[in-house]
Structure 1
Amino acid sequence: MSPYVLATLISTLGLGTMIALSSSHWLLAWMCLEINTLAIIPLMAQHPHPRAVESATKYFIAQAAGAATILFAALTNSWVSGSWHIPEMWHPLPCTMCILGLALKMGIAPLHSWMPEVMQGLSLKTALILATWQKLAPFCILLQVPPSNPALLMALGITSILVGGWGGFNQTQVRKVLAYSSIAHLGWMVLILQFSPSLALLSLFIYFIITTATFLLLDTSKATNINLLATAWSKTPALYAIAPLVLLSLGGLPPLTGFIPKWLILKELTEESLFVAATFAALGALISLFFYLRLAYAVILIILPHTIIAIAPWRIKRPKVYLLGAICVILSLVLLPFTPLLTALFSW
């Protein structure tokens, strides 16, 4: 792909998200969501491979369905209330349709089935954009929608946590595992959204940091399945000594950074006397932790029987050092002692 075209598409992605974040009008926010969708599709299909084209097509169909639902919800709300202002969506019918449309766009269970298949056909860098940046605009619009249907948000959150945990079982493809990881983390954010929007934003911020660190670590060795993950240490030994800690942080294991949102969300749920929801969320976190442990085990403890392929080559290509990756790896490990500072920064 031409560097000029690539720069244009990435700039369009950034501009669409920024305008959506600053918009409180339904039509403008909807247009920015569609700009984002149209900008990422060429990035998905830039490699001339049938699987990449298939992923781009599936993504377009899912996003088009979500966009139609959101636009219909906005039109219905305008007809009922006479307003296009996002925070003024109080009628249950358009509010429910809007939440479901945004859930389809983000890949929240049970509207998640497109997410693992699309992620599997993408390069690691494009999958990183899909798993992080593309969630930002729909999630911030969801923050503005009044919680007139709390039971729906609770159901979506718990379902996503459980589906994200169970879906990662028996997966050998790392991108599918990270897709189910994204579904589970979005479930935690949606679960706490109506009680503490600031905590949901903190969870999104920490998820972005750890997911970025994970994808950039995998991109250094091009490890896309567990077998390649088991031999990645021969290419970048020092980097892959840290990789298990990053994966365990993504799973929410203390004392790593990923424990912060799970700890605070469970605390908030128990303070709201939602003990059943907190129990299901904790069980879902334990289920998810299994496949993170599986990946960490593959990285650091498995050597394949044919050890000749795991011997370090005599001429190792120096890996590209990503400043962003280095910062995200450090932050994904050491932020737990700064929890009071983070909660103060994200509270309003």
Structure 2
Amino acid sequence: MSPISALMMTTSIILGTLITASSKHWLMAWVGLEMNTLAIIPLIAKPHHPRAMEATTKYFLTQAMASAMILFAATMNASNTGQWEIKDCPLQTSTMILSTALLMKLGSAPFHFWVPEVLQGSQMKTGLVILTWQKLAPMALILSMGDALNQKVLITSAIFSILLGGWGGLNQTQLRKLMAFSSISHMGWILLTVGLAPKTSAFALMVYILLTTPLFLSMLMLQSKTIKDVGTAWNSSTHTSSIMLLTLMSIAGLPPMTGFAPKWLILKELTHHSMILLATTAAILSTLSLFFYLHLSYSTAMTTPPNTVLMTQKWRFFPKKHSSWFPLLASTTILLLPLTPALL
């Protein structure tokens, strides 16, 4: 892809997200979502491989269906109430359709079927964009609607996302699929407090993006696509594999890492609103995700692969240079927990 095309696609993705996040009118929000979707499709299809074409088709069909549902629900609400405002959506049927469409855009359960397949067919950098930046526009709409959305649907989807995100990642060996199921699980945690404490959900989304970005950058620098590749990462860069270990501990939500803060605050909000059973269920189901995070951490730092004379050593071939953003992102991943009160 030429630099001009890449610049145009990147600008369209950023502009579409900003239009959706700043609009108060459903039609403009829909236009921003369409710009966002159509701009990232060439990036997914860039490798010109059958797997990439399959991922592009699945992503396009899913996002087009969700966008059509959003436009249909907004039109139905406008025909009944005469209002196109995002916050003014009293019609229950429209609210239900909008909740379903936005959950499909986010890749939350039970509409998560497209996320692992699209990630597996995409490149690492494109997968990072899908799991981070592409979540901003639909989450901005969810936070804008607030109490207008069906809270029972959101909470049910949140619990199923935590369950299926952890369960689906247990038997995966591909890192991109593991990160896809990790994203599904984190979306569940974020959706738990959308109606109760929107600021907590926004903070959890911000921390999720801060944790996922250095993890993908470390995979790119270590040229790792499977758990087996991670087991030999020490050949390429010892300190990068060490940072990857700490990042995995943080994204698992273990104290005193940064990833502990959003889960702690979400459980605090749930118990404050007397939702003790919901908080307990979410905490217990998160152990499924914790298992494959620990499994990946064990493969990264505590295993020594067989080393023979004929074995290919990664450090001999094409060493990856560190990104200038990597040290800053890695440090926030590990050390941001004490600053949580100031950020909130």
User: Normalising by structure 1, what TM-score?
Assistant: 0.96
Partner Cα distance (1:309, 1:191) in 2: 51
Question: Would the aligned equivalents of 2:62 and 2:114 in 1 still touch at CA under 8 Å?
Answer: yes
Which residue does 1:225 correspond to in 2? 226
Deviation for aligned residue 1:317: 4.1
Cα distance in 2 for partners of 1:136, 1:41 equals: 17
How large is the RMSD of aligned CA atoms in angstroms?
Answer: 1.4
Structure 1: tracts of 5 or more residues without a match: 344-348
Quote the offset at 1:314 in angstroms: 6.8
Residue 295 of structure 1 deviates from its aligned partner by 0.6
| Residues 168 and 181, structure 1, Cα contact 8 Å, conserved in 2 | yes
Contact 2:222 2:240 in 1 (8 A): no
Deviations 1:236-286 (A, max 9, x none): 111111211101111111110000000000011001000111011101221
Gaps of at least 5 residues in structure 2 are none
- Measure how far apart 1:62 and its partner are: 0.5
Partner of 2:167: 166
How many residues of Structure 1 are paired with residues of Structure 2 in the alignment? 343
CA offsets per residue over residues 94-139 of structure 1, 9 Å max, x none? Answer: 1111010011111000000111011011111000000000000010
In structure 1, how many angstroms separate the alpha carbons of the residues matched to 2:138 and 2:248?
26
Amino acid at match of 1:261: P
* Correspondence 1:288 to 2:307: no
Residue 41 (structure 1) aligned with residue 41 (structure 2): yes
Structure 2 counterpart of 1:128: 128
Give the match's secondary structure for 2:147.
coil
The 5 A counterparts of 1:146-165 are 146-148=146-148, 149-165=150-166
Point out the more displaced range, 143-152 or 25-34. 143-152
Pairs within 5 Å for 1:126-205: 126-148=126-148, 149-205=150-206
Contact conserved, 2:166 with 2:182, CA < 8 A, in 1? yes
Q: Which amino acid aligns with 1:137?
A: A
Cross-structure match for 1:215? 216
Conserved 8 A contact 1:234-1:310: no
Matching of residue 86 in structure 1 with residue 99 in structure 2? no
How many Å apart are 1:315 and its aligned residue? 4.1
Contact kept, 8 Å, 1:16 with 1:32, in 2: the verdict is yes
Pairs within 5 Å for 1:259-278: 259-278=260-279
- 3-state SS of the aligned residue for 1:147? helix
Q: Secondary structure at the match of 1:171?
A: coil
- Deviations along 1:127-172, one digit per CA (max 9) or x if unpaired, are 0000000000010011111424221111111111111111111100
Shift of 1:88: 0.4
User: 1:157-203 CA deviation, whole Å, 9 max, x = no partner?
Assistant: 11111111111111001100100100011111111100000000000
What amino acid sits opposite 1:10 in the alignment? Answer: T
Query: Could you tell me how far apart the structure 1 residues matched to 2:209 and 2:219 are?
Result: 15
Partner Cα separation in structure 2 for residue 312 and residue 330 of structure 1: 28
1:247 matches 2:244: no
Q: Distance in 1 between matches of 2:56 and 2:172?
A: 22
Distance 1:256 1:91, change over 3 A: same
| 3-state SS, counterpart of residue 193 of structure 2 | helix
Displacement, 1:91? 1.9
Distance 1:79 1:219, change over 3 A: same
Aligned equivalent of 1:338: 339
Q: Is the 8 A contact 1:304 1:310 kept in 2?
A: no
TM-score (norm 2): 0.97
Shift in CA distance, 307/90, structure 1 to aligned 2, threshold 3 Å = farther
Contact 2:260 2:337 in 1 (8 A): yes
2:13 aligned counterpart, secondary structure: helix
- TM superposition shift of 1:207: 0.3
How much does 1:305 deviate? 2.8
Matched, 1:305 2:303: no
> What percentage of aligned pairs have identical amino acids?
44
Cα drift, residue 303 of structure 1: 2.0
**1:72 maps to 2:64:** no
